[in-house]
Amino acid sequence: MARKPQCLFLRSIPSPRGKWCIVFLGASFLVVSLILALNVDVISLAIPLHEWKIYRIGCIFSSSQTTAHSPEAPQYISHAFHPLVGTGNLMFIYASLWGIAKKNGLTPTIPFTKLHDAFHLDLSPEQFFDLSDCDNYVFGMDECCLYDERTEQIFQRAVGRNVSLWGYFQSSRYFHPEHETDIRRQFAFKENIDVRANDIIKGFRLRSGDSMQVSCLSFCFCTRADVSGNVDVTCHLSRGMRERCATQNRIKVIE
């Protein structure tokens, strides 16, 4: 009796069980592909601004993973702080999150970041929610150093929902001038940072026309390039030079 033709790939697998495993895996892949194709609106949060769509695998099979809040309950706003972002960018993110939250009457909350190790922040670290919450209103800033006026009406776009921010928000307009005092107070270094900083020698290069008050320096090394012409370098001379010449609370370099 003639054998039925088989796929060359399956014929190369001697075990019948192995063939069935390959067929099962292929069928599973096809089913998952169909789910992804038919549920794009479930995977991505339905935001009226298409440029801010975020695809989240956690929302494929269950769109009910939400943080329930009634319209009367206080909504929270957080940011997807990335662990590899530098301290300067994190400071912009924190300050902008604070300003946007206050402007929209939302409660800011953040996860633990390296800022907590350095500054006296008002917001303690907490894992309240993140982008895996499918019902969050997600708003992002893809470009650098721009101010987006839509952040002023987030409370109207996300009625009864929490808000997740992503992006750098590198514009002082998000928090300045209304919340400048709050931000400056929170960005005061912790005592252990101040102690370590005071033990570090600070150095800089004085150019022609530069001047500094004596009180901010302890010593300096001066070269001929520093004192070319009539440059008034206002610093204490190094001990090795053993010469000081003070004039009206300033030090003039002696070659």
CA distance 204 to 41: 56
Q: Per-domain residue ranges for the chain?
A: 52-193, 201-255
Q: What is the pLDDT of residues 23-50, one digit of tens each?
A: 777 777 777 666 655 544 333 333 333 3
**CA dihedral of residues 59, 63, 69, 70 (deg, nearest 10):** 150
Q: How far is CA 178 from the centre of its chain?
A: 21
Interval 221-250 mean pLDDT: 42
Interval 205-218 mean pLDDT: 53
State residue 187's pLDDT score: 96
Task: Dig out the tokens for 70 from the structure.
Answer: 């009634």
Q: What is the pLDDT of residues 92-143, one digit of tens each?
A: 999 999 999 999 999 998 888 899 999 999 999 886 555 445 677 888 877 7
What's the pLDDT band for 68 if we cut at 50, 70, 90?
A: very low
CA distance 87 to 93: 10
pLDDT at position 194 over 60: yes
Distances (CA, A) of 137 to 7, 30, 43, 49, 55: 49, 31, 14, 11, 13
Task: Dig out the tokens for 125 from the structure.
Answer: 């670290």
